[in-house]
Each structure stands twice: as C-alpha cells, then as structure tokens.
Amino acid sequence: MRTAVIADIHANLEALTAVLNRIRTLQVDEIVCLGDVVGYNANPNECIDIVRSEKILCVLGNHDVAASGLEEPDTFNPLARAAVLWTREQLTGESRKFLINLQRELSVRDFYLFHGSIHDTDRYILYRDDAVDNFRELARLRQSPVIGFFGHSHVMTVLSEQNGIIATSLAHEDLFLQQSKRYLINPGSVGQPRDGDPRAAFLVYDDRDRNVTFYRIEYDLRRCQEKIINAGLPPRLAERLAWGR
C-alpha cells in the first residue's frame, strides 16, 4: 500500500489544502496524520472537518490535547499557550469531540503512529537518548512495527537502528528502507515548518517497494498570515511562517 503521512497541520487551511491536492495526484491508498491538527493558525474547525471528511487516520497531538481541554497548556511557551487558548474558544462541540476521541498512538501493519515520543505526546525526539528510548519501545510493541512515524518537532527526520547502532539519513530525497533496520521518521510539518523551508511538508511510504519519498509544497502563505492577524492571534505566528522557523 501507498500511505501519505502528514503531521502538525496546526489549523493552516491553506497548507493542508495544498498538500491534499498534491497527494491526490500521487495514487495513495490512505492518509494518516501524526497529530496537532489545531494550534498556532486560524482555521481549527475547518482543518478538523477536512480530516474527518477525508477519513484521515489521526492520532492525538499535544496541541490537540490542550485545545480540547483534556489538559491545561501549563508547559507551553507564551505564543503556543495564547494560540491554544484562542483555539479552545473557537472549537465547535463536534470539533472538540473529535479531538477528545483520538487515540494517542496507533499500530498499522508494519508501522506505528505517535506524535512526540512513544507513550509521551509531549516529548521530542531530538537527541540520541530520545532515539534510543523510542527504538527500544518500538521493539517492545511487537515484532511487526519496523517504522515509527512521529511529528512534534516540525522537522523532516530519518533515524535508523541496527544492532544498537543509530544513524541519521537525509530526509530531502527518496529513502529505501532496509529490511534489517528499524526506523523513526518525521515527515515534517504541514502547517508550520521549522527547518528553514516555509513550504508545507509530507511524505509517502510505499510498503511494497519499501520506499519513502519526501515532498515540499508551496501554498498561499500570505493568506494564512492575514487570517492570523485578523483573528487577533500573536503577529509573530504569522511572521514565523515566512521564515520556516
């Protein structure tokens, strides 16, 4: 099967629309989302409606947790906290119910879906110790998951593990997955990239060819920025979209 993997939409309707339009040209069988449908940007309900109508399999992100009221954003930085509290006020009852009912992680065939780290939605995979812990948990889940798809950092990332040795691969080109290795892969962010490239990011995983292809897509960034300002959200949230930071 061919699976499109998206993450960190963050209520960016323009980016989500552009990404889905591109995905429709790629003959994928399914779309999965690694959480944070909402937060930061100005169209939370619209993005949730699209995820629901497109039947995108989705897990819960930390912004989804806070915006839905499952937890308070006590550990969020001021920008993220302001955005998530604004989002909480905007969500319809149906949108809130959708977020509350999402699972924190899911196993699908040979891959595992989670937002930050396995069993910890808020923890980033940034350093070697983070990778070691997640590869260990991936191995414990069951024999079949050989790939962990994760989000949260908003940066395209490929980590592989074989016999305890962890390596990093380039995430801006096609990647062939070796049978002898386990992988932790981040598709980058749809709605707020942080790798210096403002274009929306996603990937497609082909389990027959064991290939991952990474994509970057331009979208109407200016329109998204205008909506942020008009909604009364912090202006810096609009500015950072142009920086990709």
Please say if the pLDDT value at position 223 is more than 90.
Answer: yes
Q: Report which of residues 128 and 42 the model is more confident about.
A: 42
Residue 158 is predicted with a pLDDT of 96
- With contact defined as beta carbons under 8 Å apart, do 193 and 244 qualify? yes
pLDDT of residue 144: 66
Q: What CATH code is carried by the domain that includes residue 171?
A: 3.60.21.10
Q: What's the pLDDT at 131?
A: 95
Q: What is the pLDDT of residue 231?
A: 97
Q: Would the pLDDT of 170 be above 80?
A: no
* Sheet of strand 2-6: strand arrangement: 57-58, 30-33, 2-6, 200-206, 211-217, 175-176
More confident call, 233 vs 143? 233
Provide the pLDDT for residue 142. Answer: 67
Query: Alpha helices of 13-171 — where are they, by DSSP H?
Result: 13-23, 44-53, 62-68, 78-90, 93-100, 128-141
User: If pLDDT is split at 50, 70 and 90, which confidence band does 230 have?
Assistant: very high
Question: What mean pLDDT comes out for the span 155-183?
Answer: 90
What band does 143 get if pLDDT is binned at 50, 70 and 90?
low
Q: Where are the alpha helices (DSSP H) in the chain?
A: 13-23, 44-53, 62-68, 78-90, 93-100, 128-141, 221-230, 235-243
**What confidence score (pLDDT) does residue 171 get?**
80
**225, pLDDT greater than 80:** yes
- Residue 5 is predicted with a pLDDT of 98
Looking at residue 164, what is its pLDDT? 87
Rounded average pLDDT over 193-204: 97
Q: Which domain holds residue 205?
A: 2-243
Domain count for the chain: 1
> Is-contact 154 189, C-beta < 8 A?
yes
